[in-house]
Structure 1
Amino acid sequence: MGADYPYTTITEPTFAARFLLDPHTDTLETVTNVDTFVDLPDGSTWALMIFTVGEVSRQLARRKETGEVANGSYFWAVDQLIVPDPGIAAMTAAIRELVRTGEIMTVGIRCDDPRPGRLGAAEE
């Protein structure tokens, strides 16, 4: 495990996951909501927003209170991955399975997409 500011990096034989932890609120054991980049050996990079079930519930309750998003009637994110437990270990286990099955390419957003206007695309 590495700490390459601002990322905490977990490197495994089939991927490297870079977690963007908030240094003021997140720890390796307690993080519940984190942006993550998964680098594969083929050179591709995939973005994920990882949430715990508890964090999704908290977000819905907050939005119900504030009246946002139809009073908290839904929660979504394009590249969302929901895990049952907090912490980098649980999140890494989920990423490991996504990479093993190839589902990382369905769940994540490819960051090195060459099409103009896409996340990570080169400007023309």
Structure 2
Amino acid sequence: MGSGDPYTTITEPTFVARFLLDPATDTVDTVANVDAFVDLPDGSTWALTIFTIDEVSRLLARWKETGEVAKGSYFWTVDQLIVLDPGLPAMIAAIRELVSNGDIRSAGFR
């Protein structure tokens, strides 16, 4: 992450992933809810919001208490990707698979 650059950027042979980590709360190893942009060699960019299962559960519990989202009775987002483990390594592994099998074009938002 460069000076003034809001992204943590991971470059792989088949894509570049840019993550918008919150410097106040997120670390590379513990991030559980992050917006990401995946740039492919063809010039396309795909947006994803990546959550862990635990983060989705935490949000639903919070919304149940606050009354938001029908008291936490559901969760959705257009460009959602859910991973089992927190941290960029788990997220990069999922993105790598999505790019490899072409599913990034269905899972991401362009």
- TM-score class, shorter-chain normalisation, is over 0.9
| Match in the other structure for 2:21 | 21
Root mean square deviation of aligned Cα = 0.5
TM-score (norm 1): 0.86
3-state SS of the aligned residue for 2:48? strand
1:46 corresponds to which residue?
46
How far did 1:11 drift?
A: 0.3
1:21-100 → structure 2 map (5 Å cutoff): 21-100=21-100
Between the two proteins, the alignment pairs up a number of residues equal to 108
Letter in 1 for 2:84: P
> Per the alignment, in what secondary structure is the counterpart of residue 11 of structure 2?
strand
Sequence identity, in percent?
75
1:77-99 deviation line (CA, Å, top 9, x unaligned): 00000000000000000000000
Q: Secondary structure at the match of 1:46?
A: strand
CA distances 1:18-58 after superposition (whole Å, capped 9, x unpaired): 00000000000000000000000000000000000000000
What amino acid is aligned across from residue 77 of structure 2 in structure 1? A
Greater relative contact order (Cα 8 A, min sep 6): structure 1 or 2?
2
Range with bigger deviation, 3-12 or 78-87: 3-12
TM-score (normalised: structure 2): 0.97
Structure 2 SS opposite 1:76: coil
Gaps of 5+ in 2: none
